């Protein structure tokens, strides 16, 4: 889940999820980790990603004071760490480029003719 | 103090033992590559040569992760990325030492499949992504620690420095990496001057057994000196 999510968030324009199959994994709950993670996450991207996998419990907006709520943290934990896209694809909203996900592993390899633009894009983000 | 040291040592031994146990798997990939090479036409460019993969031995992996955890507190509870993870040795070692979230990134799908199998065997959770590190679209300092055994760049000059460049951009806390001892001055200069690292320190010098995996290797097995580095972004 985070892998797609990281991709989604950090590309600046979150990748859309195309879900064929998603799975839930049991992950130990760690509130400190979630609090540390929260500022690094683009909330809307997480909400959209979770929704496309059928999890609709996350609030549309989130602020850091909500991290004091155990209930909120549990939902955040589930969406961030327990939901995994097993089969499907990540789709670039700008170009429609499809990155397939197979056995839970997203394939983000680029074609040769895509490399220059992408590198430039990465450079310009820093 | 003594008890703490003892438990540290046993932790180190356990980690190495677990990794040795699963190291059988990491050898599988080399035999797989031999096979792949044997079946490839000599004229065809072997993609594995291009990637120049050397499996990370269990000893080196446990040394790196043990130091990262015990001396610097860079592993447990952290988000750790293993760049060029191959069959996942470093990432899995991080997960064994209590990393909260581990991501393993490699360009080669066969390596990733083995990594996934290894994680399953060890009952560890590791999130794998197939991607060329140089085109990694991560923005900002999304991970705490990067651990890596980059291609040394014997075939593709500067490949290890490309990895380091990206690692220093995405890590907020530390980057652990292996580079040939012969390139020490160059690595230090590039890290501090070109990649804006705040600190670059050689933690120890290790011997790296490189088995003859590729045709361009002239000797049967070479023992090369590598530095274990810790960089602060």
Chain A, residues 66-105, CB within 8 A of chain B, namely 81, 103-105
Closest residue in chain A to residue B134, using alpha carbons only: A119
Q: What pLDDT digit, counting tens, does each position of B179-229 carry?
A: 999 999 999 999 999 999 999 999 999 887 766 666 666 666 667 889 999
pLDDT (0 to 100) of residue A117 = 45
Q: Nearest C-alpha of chain A: how many angstroms from B205? A: 33
| Chain A residues with CB-CB distance to B107 below 8 A | 109
Q: Is the dihedral of CA B191, B193, B197, B203 positive or negative?
A: positive
- Chain A within 8 Å of B95 (Cβ-Cβ)? no
- The pTM for the full model equals 0.81
pLDDT (0 to 100) of residue B9 = 53
Of A94-103, B39-48, B49-58, B204-213, give the range with the top mean pLDDT.
Answer: A94-103
B97: closest CA among B139, B47, B147?
B147
Query: ipTM of the assembly?
Result: 0.80
Count of domains forming chain B: 1
Q: What is the CATH number of the domain that holds B131?
A: 3.40.50.150
Q: Nearest C-alpha of chain B: how many angstroms from A63? A: 19
Interface touch B129/A115, C-beta < 8 Å: no
pLDDT (0 to 100) of residue A99 = 87
Domains of chain A with bracketed CATH: 2-125 (2.20.25.10)
Across the interface, of A27, A30, A105, the residue whose CB is closest to B129 is: A105
- Residue pairs between chains A and B whose CB atoms are closer than 8 Å: 78
User: In the beta sheet, which residues pair with residue A41?
Assistant: none
- For residue B133, the enclosing domain spans 2-232
């Amino acid at each position: 889940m985070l892998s797609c999510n990281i991709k989604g968030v950090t590309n600046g324009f979150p990748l859309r999820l195309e879900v064929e199959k998603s799975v839930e994994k049991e992950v130990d709950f760690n509130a400190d980790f979630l609090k540390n993670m929260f500022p690094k996450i683009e909330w809307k991207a997480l909400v959209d990603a979770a929704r496309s996998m059928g999890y609709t419990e996350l609030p549309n907006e989130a602020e850091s004071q909500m991290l004091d709520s155990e209930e909120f943290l549990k939902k955040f934990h589930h969406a961030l760490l327990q939901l995994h896209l097993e089969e499907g694809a990540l789709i670039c909203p700008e170009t429609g480029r499809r990155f397939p996900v197979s056995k839970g592993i997203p394939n983000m390899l680029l074609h040769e003719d895509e490399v220059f633009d992408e590198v430039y894009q990465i450079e310009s983000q820093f | 103090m003594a008890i703490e040291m003892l438990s540290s040592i046993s932790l180190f031994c356990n980690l190495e033992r677990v990794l040795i146990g699963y190291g059988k798997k990491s050898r599988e990939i080399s035999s797989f590559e031999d096979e792949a090479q044997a079946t490839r036409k000599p004229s065809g460019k072997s993609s594995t040569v291009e990637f120049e993969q050397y499996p990370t031995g269990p000893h080196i992996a446990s040394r790196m992760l043990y130091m990262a955890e015990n001396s610097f507190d860079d592993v447990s509870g952290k988000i750790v990325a293993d760049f060029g993870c191959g069959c996942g040795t470093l990432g899995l070692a991080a997960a064994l030492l209590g990393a909260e979230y581990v991501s393993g990134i490699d360009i080669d799908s066969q390596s990733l499949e083995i990594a996934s199998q290894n994680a399953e065997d060890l009952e560890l959770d590791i999130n794998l992504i197939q991607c060329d590190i140089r085109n990694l679209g991560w923005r900002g300092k999304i991970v705490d620690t990067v651990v890596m055994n980059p291609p040394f760049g014997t075939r593709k000059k500067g490949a290890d420095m490309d990895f380091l460049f990206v690692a220093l951009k995405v890590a907020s806390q530390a980057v652990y990496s292996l580079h040939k001892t012969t390139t020490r001055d160059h690595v230090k200069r590039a890290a501090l001057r070109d990649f804006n690292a705040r600190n670059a320190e050689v933690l120890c010098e290790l011997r790296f057994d490189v088995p003859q995996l590729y045709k361009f290797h002239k000797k049967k097995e070479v023992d090369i000196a590598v530095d274990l580095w810790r960089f602060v972004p």
